[in-house]
Amino acid sequence: MPNAIISWFRRRRVARSSKKQRGTVSLSTRLLIEAPPIPPHPTLPSQRRGRLTPAPSHESLIAASNAATANSSFFTKLPVEIRRKILIEAFGGQTIHMDLIYDHPPQPAEEQTEEMIKKNGRFRAHGNFNVNVHGVPTCDERNLRLDDSQPKRWAWRSSVCHRNGPARCRPEDEVQPGEDYCRFGQSAWHAMCLCWPGEFPTKCQVGAMGWLCSCRQAYLEGIDVLYSTNTIHTASKEMILSLTSILLPQRLSSITSVELLWDFAPFPSIHPEVVKPPLSDMASFRAFLDAIPTTFPALRKVHISLQGHIYPTKTINGSTSWDNNIDRVDEILHPVDDFVLGLEADVRRSFSLGIPSSLYRSQRDRALQNNDPVEQAHRGQYERHWRPLKGSGDGEGYWVCLGNKDLTMPFICTMGEGGYKGIIGEDNWVFYSF
C-alpha cells in the first residue's frame, strides 16, 4: 500500500509539472513538441484462436452455422437481401470513425440526465466523452479532458460520425472531414448530436458488437455490412501505415469508401525550438499515399484531408520565414497527382483532396486565373476547385476542397461600414474560423 501511495503522488507531481511547463509555451509550439518514443501498437496475433468466417473448404464451420440458425425465423424465413437491408439500417450506410490513439485515457463522463441538459442549456459531448464545451469557441482535441494521472496507452476509439446533422444541409454549411472532431467527443457547435434521433449515448456508438457476437451466421452477414457499406474515417497515421498488421485481409478487401486525415509538417518551422512530431516528413507522406491502393484493394471512393503545419517556408542566410511561392505548395500536390493517376478511372472520378485554408486560397485564385472550374461557398456551392492532371487526357483531374480552417478571423474595427464580409471579401469569408 505505501508503494502504491508513493507512486500515485509521483504521477500527480509529474502531471502538475508538465501542466506548468505547457503553460509557459505558446500553443503552436506546444502542439509540435517532441513526445517520448511511442511503444509499438497492438497487432493481430500470429495465430488466431479460431476461424469465425467459414470458407467453402471448411464444411464443419458451415454446418455449425446452419445448426445455430435452424430455429431462427430471421435467418430461415427472410431472404438474404431483406436481411442485408435490415442490417444496413441498423449499423451500415453511414460514416464511422475508426482510430487507434496513443494518449492518456479520457476522464469519466459527468453524470447528467437528458432533462438536466435541456434545462440548463448544457450539451452532451459526442460519444459521452468528458469535454469542456462551455465558453469554448472552437472544436478540437484540446477540449477533451484526459486523465493525465494515468500513463499513455494505445486505445481504440470508434463512433458514428455526427459532424453533420441527419438532414442534408446546404453545401456551404457542410462540415468537411478535415474539421471532424467526433473522435475527441465534439461536433459542430457542440450540439449536433442532439439533432440525431435515438437515445444518448448509444446513438453515437456503432452498436454492431451485440449482433456480431450472437452467432456465426450473424457475424458473417454483419461484418460484411459493417466494412463494405460504411465510409471509414480515420486520422491515425501509425494505424494507416500498418493497417495490414491490424485488420484481417478480408476486412480490408471489403472497405469501399474511406476518409483519411494526414497531419504533417513537411517544411521547416519558423520557430527554431519546434521539433516535428513523428511521421511528419515528405517520405512518410509518400509512403502513406503508396500504401492506400494496396491496403484498400476494393476502394471506390477516397477523400484525403491534409492538415497541420504545412504552410511553405523558405530559409535565407539561416533565417526561416513564410514563403508565398505557389511552387512550394506544388511540392505537396505533385505526389497527390501521381497517386491519382495510378487509380482506376472510376475511383479517380470519386477522389477528392482537402487542404487547409492557408493553402487553399492561393490554389483557388490560380484556378480562377486559369479558368479551371471553381465552386464557391458564397454562391451556395461546395468550396472547391478543379485541379487538372498534367500529362493525362482532356478533363482529367480531381476536386481540391477547402479542408481545415487554420486561419483565425483577425480583429477588425469596421466602424459599421459593411462588416467583416465587406473588408475581407464575400468569397474569402469561408476561410476563417471563429
Chain mean pLDDT for the chain:
82
Cα(302)–Cα(285) distance, rounded to whole angstroms?
16
Whether 170 maps to a domain, the answer reads: no
Whether 400 maps to a domain, the answer reads: yes
Q: Report pLDDT for 284.
A: 94
Residues 175, 181, 183: CA angle, nearest 5 degrees: 135
Q: Report pLDDT for 208.
A: 94
Lowest mean pLDDT among 64-73, 112-121, 359-368, 404-413: 112-121
Amino acid letter, residue 350:
S
Residue 21 pLDDT grade (very low, low, confident, very high; cuts 50, 70, 90): very low
Hey, which of 55-59, 186-190, 294-298 has the most confident mean pLDDT? 294-298
Lowest mean pLDDT among 99-103, 134-138, 255-259, 302-306: 134-138
- Alpha-carbon torsion (265, 432, 181, 168), positive or negative: negative
**Is a pLDDT exceeding 90 seen at residue 201?**
no
Whether 128 maps to a domain, the answer reads: no
Say how many CA atoms lie within 13 Å of 74 toward its Cβ.
Answer: 13
CB atoms within 10 A of CB 57: 7
Are 180 and 127 a contacting pair, CB within 8 Å? Answer: no
Cα(228)–Cα(237) distance, rounded to whole angstroms?
22
Q: Report pLDDT for 33.
A: 47
75-81: long-range contacts, CB 8 A cutoff, minimum separation 24 = 75/217, 80/221
- Alpha-carbon torsion (313, 314, 315, 319), positive or negative: negative
The residue range of the domain holding 330 is 236-434
Give the rounded percent of residues in the chain with a pLDDT score beyond 90.
47
User: Residue 367 contacts by C-beta under 8 Å, 6 or more apart in sequence?
Assistant: 373, 374, 385, 386, 387
Helices (H) and strands (E) in the chain, counts: 15, 13
Grid look-up 507522406 returns: 285
pLDDT in tens, 158-178: 999 999 999 888 888 899 999
State how many domains the chain has. Answer: 1
Q: Decide which of 434 and 318 is more confident.
A: 318
- Alpha-carbon torsion (78, 84, 87, 89), positive or negative: negative
Cα(364)–Cα(332) distance, rounded to whole angstroms?
16
Whether 22 maps to a domain, the answer reads: no
Cα(308)–Cα(31) distance, rounded to whole angstroms?
10
Lowest mean pLDDT among 23-27, 127-131, 204-208: 23-27
For the residues 75-104, what does the mean pLDDT come to?
93
Whether 74 maps to a domain, the answer reads: no
Residue 333 pLDDT grade (very low, low, confident, very high; cuts 50, 70, 90): very high
User: For the chain, what is the largest distance between any 2 Cα atoms, rounded to a whole number of angstroms?
Assistant: 79
Whether 256 maps to a domain, the answer reads: yes
Cα(98)–Cα(72) distance, rounded to whole angstroms?
32
State how far the alpha carbon of 222 is from the alpha carbons of 37, 211, 230, 244, 338, in Å.
38, 7, 12, 21, 36
C-alpha cell at 357: 485554408
Whether 348 maps to a domain, the answer reads: yes
Are 149 and 105 a contacting pair, CB within 8 Å? Answer: no
Are 98 and 260 a contacting pair, CB within 8 Å? Answer: no
Region of 207 (left: φ > 0; alpha: ψ -120 to 50; beta: rest) is: left
Reference 198, options 166, 246, 167; nearest CA is: 166
**Is a pLDDT exceeding 90 seen at residue 260?**
yes
For 383, phi then psi, to 5°, come to -80, 100
Residue 30 pLDDT grade (very low, low, confident, very high; cuts 50, 70, 90): very low
Are 388 and 414 a contacting pair, CB within 8 Å? Answer: no
Cα(271)–Cα(33) distance, rounded to whole angstroms?
11
Are 313 and 271 a contacting pair, CB within 8 Å? Answer: no
Whether 190 maps to a domain, the answer reads: no
Preceding peptide of 137 cis, ω within 30°: no
For the residues 384-413, what does the mean pLDDT come to?
84
